[in-house]
């Protein structure tokens, strides 16, 4: 019987793994590979802040799972995982409904021999009162597009003089990569909107406040990287509040622990992550306080050798003697997908599985068209700081590497040419 590999989650890591396995084991008939996701299309999650600002048209950069499966010898199942039966080696998929609530696909089960869980993460609001009700999260394409729609609506009202002060106020909670990059993209959007004729509202009339509970922006990166980013944001007119914890969110404002009130008509929560709640105690599998599945260095779950987990939804030991886990970053998911593509082939052959060793190649932060900054790390050159145009080119190359893994070199080159042609025939900002 053909070995059945089921991958749940079509994010960057899950989709790359399904594509790699399809091109090898699937094409040769050595295994049946099935990818499960609740959506029909994929967009690279690190680009969602550009979708939110309108700098990126998601309908042009999305990938269709059905087409990708056909081209790369795997199967795609539309559905959301709702349960697991380890004894019977099957997962449950909830019924899929359309926008009217009518059933498109019934609830069903899917059997596996090897199960890989790669469902990513969601924003963690830490139970802050009012955050879920009044803030927009940027976990999905739909949320990013919702923010963009609200931004345009606020802008058009302000342009028509239907606001009291003729200004738009945006507050972003969390000065990690998403929050910082979104703040810069919104400032860029303000300039573009004025250039397209909505000039009753000048760029300086979009008030952007970035709030961070920690002592500095980009707390996960070295201070030599975060310091120039902080300075650039302030030059752009972004108000940066560090050491400021948000204690409550209302419809009109954010309230801080120190008693400060930050008025904002648009509010984004981009602080902290947690794995989806259904993973907690999933048929007895070990999970941690933020719902991540605990895995061994082989990326197998601690209690079941047939189940693997990787990416943001997995807590994998860093391997440096500490109790720290692999950081939830795109490069970690990419490295783990590459390892699992080899590991699952070895598993079919009955050979021992390799252990994952994370390699930190550095971090890059884009500040829209204004700047970019980051550091690259390697065995030969150590840690090298990058700024400006060169950092921006390296940042863009990260997305191209993701496309290379999914499309191959020739099709990625065609996409790059298409993007360049499109820039001369389409607006630089999505205006609807």
pLDDT number for residue 28: 95
Q: What mean pLDDT value characterizes the chain?
A: 88
Is 80 exceeded by the pLDDT of residue 401? yes
- Among 103-117, 189-203, 227-241, which is the least confidently predicted range? 189-203
Residues 53/136, Cβ–Cβ less than 8 Å: no
Strongest mean pLDDT among 22-26, 376-380, 404-408 = 22-26
DSSP state string for 352-417: PPPPP-----EEEEEETTTEEEEEEEETTTEEEEEEHHHHHHHHHHHHHHHHHHHH-HHHHHHHHH
The stretch 278-304 carries a mean pLDDT of 95
The stretch 405-421 carries a mean pLDDT of 81
The residue ranking higher by pLDDT, 204 or 343, is 343
List of domains in the chain: 3-121+275-348 (3.50.50.60), 131-269 (3.50.50.60), 362-425 (no CATH)
The residue ranking higher by pLDDT, 371 or 8, is 8
pLDDT number for residue 164: 60
What whole-number distance in Å separates Cα of residue 192 and Cα of residue 213?
31
Is 60 exceeded by the pLDDT of residue 337? yes
pLDDT number for residue 388: 65
pLDDT number for residue 192: 83
The stretch 403-407 carries a mean pLDDT of 85
Q: Can you tell me whether residue 348 is helix, strand or coil?
A: helix
The residue ranking higher by pLDDT, 17 or 152, is 17
- Among 146-160, 171-185, 213-227, 358-372, which is the least confidently predicted range? 358-372
The stretch 139-155 carries a mean pLDDT of 90
pTM of the model as a whole: 0.90
Gyration radius from the chain CA atoms = 22
Q: 201-227: per-residue pLDDT in tens? A: 777 888 999 999 999 999 888 888 899
Q: Can you tell me whether residue 47 is helix, strand or coil?
A: helix
**Which helix (H) or strand (E) is 133 found in, with range?**
helix 131-134
pLDDT number for residue 165: 65
Is 70 exceeded by the pLDDT of residue 384? no
Q: 98-142: per-residue pLDDT in tens? A: 888 888 899 999 999 999 999 999 999 999 999 999 999 999 999
**Which helix (H) or strand (E) is 142 found in, with range?**
helix 141-159
The stretch 66-83 carries a mean pLDDT of 96
Is 80 exceeded by the pLDDT of residue 393? no
Burial classification of residue 101, based on how many CB atoms lie within 10 Å of its CB (0-12 exposed, 13-18 middle, 19 or more buried) = exposed
79 is written with which tokens?
Answer: 């559905």
What whole-number distance in Å separates Cα of residue 184 and Cα of residue 201?
18
pLDDT number for residue 207: 93
Spatial CA neighbour of 119 closest among 36, 191, 201, 179: 36
What whole-number distance in Å separates Cα of residue 392 and Cα of residue 365?
8
pLDDT number for residue 381: 45
pLDDT band at residue 380, thresholds of 50, 70 and 90? very low
Percent of the chain past pLDDT 70, that is, above it, reads 90
Residues 271/123, Cβ–Cβ less than 8 Å: yes
- Among 78-87, 348-357, 420-429, which is the least confidently predicted range? 420-429
The stretch 378-402 carries a mean pLDDT of 67
What whole-number distance in Å separates Cα of residue 74 and Cα of residue 67?
10
């Amino acid at each position: 019987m053909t070995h059945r590999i089921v991958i749940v989650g079509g994010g960057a890591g899950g989709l790359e793994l399904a594509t790699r396995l399809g091109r090898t084991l699937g094409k040769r008939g050595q295994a049946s590979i099935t990818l499960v996701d609740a959506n029909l299309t994929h967009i690279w999650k690190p680009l969602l802040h550009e979708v939110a600002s309108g700098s990126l048209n998601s309908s042009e950069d999305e990938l269709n799972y059905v087409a990708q499966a056909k081209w790369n010898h795997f199967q795609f199942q539309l559905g959301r995982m709702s349960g697991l039966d380890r004894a019977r080696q099957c997962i449950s998929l909830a019924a899929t409904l359309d926008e009217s609530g009518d059933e498109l696909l019934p609830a069903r089960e899917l059997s596996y021999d090897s199960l890989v869980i790669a469902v990513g993460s969601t924003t963690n609001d830490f139970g802050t009162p009012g955050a879920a009700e009044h803030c927009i999260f940027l976990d999905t394409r739909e949320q990013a597009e919702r923010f963009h729609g609200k931004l345009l609506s606020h802008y058009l009202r302000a342009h028509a003089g239907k606001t009291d002060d003729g200004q738009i106020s945006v507050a972003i909670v969390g000065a990690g990569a998403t929050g910082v990059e979104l703040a810069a993209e919104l400032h860029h959007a303000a300039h573009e909107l004025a250039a397209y004729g909505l000039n009753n509202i000048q760029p300086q009339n979009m008030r952007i406040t970035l709030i961070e509970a920690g002592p500095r922006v980009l707390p996960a990166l070295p201070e030599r990287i975060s310091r120039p980013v902080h300075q650039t944001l302030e030059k752009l007119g972004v108000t940066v509040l560090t050491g400021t914890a948000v204690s409550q969110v209302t419809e009109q404002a954010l309230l801080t622990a120190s008693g400060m009130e930050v008025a904002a008509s648009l509010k984004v929560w981009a602080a902290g992550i947690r794995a989806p709640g259904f993973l907690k105690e999933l048929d007895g599998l070990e999970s941690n306080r933020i719902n991540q599945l605990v895995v061994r260095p082989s990326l197998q779950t601690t209690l079941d050798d047939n189940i693997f987990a990787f990416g943001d939804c997995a807590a994998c030991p860093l391997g440096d003697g500490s109790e720290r886990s692999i950081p939830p970053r795109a490069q970690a998911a990419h490295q783990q997908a590459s390892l699992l593509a080899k590991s699952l082939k070895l598993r079919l052959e009955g050979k021992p599985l390799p252990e994952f060793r994370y390699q930190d190649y550095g971090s890059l932060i884009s500040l829209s068209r204004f700047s970019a900054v980051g550091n690259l790390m390697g065995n030969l050159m150590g840690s090298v700081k990058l700024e400006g145009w060169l950092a921006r080119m390296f940042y863009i190359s990260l997305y191209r590497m993701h496309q290379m893994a999914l499309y191959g070199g020739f099709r990625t080159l065609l996409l790059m040419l298409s993007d360049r042609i499109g820039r001369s025939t389409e607006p630089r900002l999505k205006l609807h």
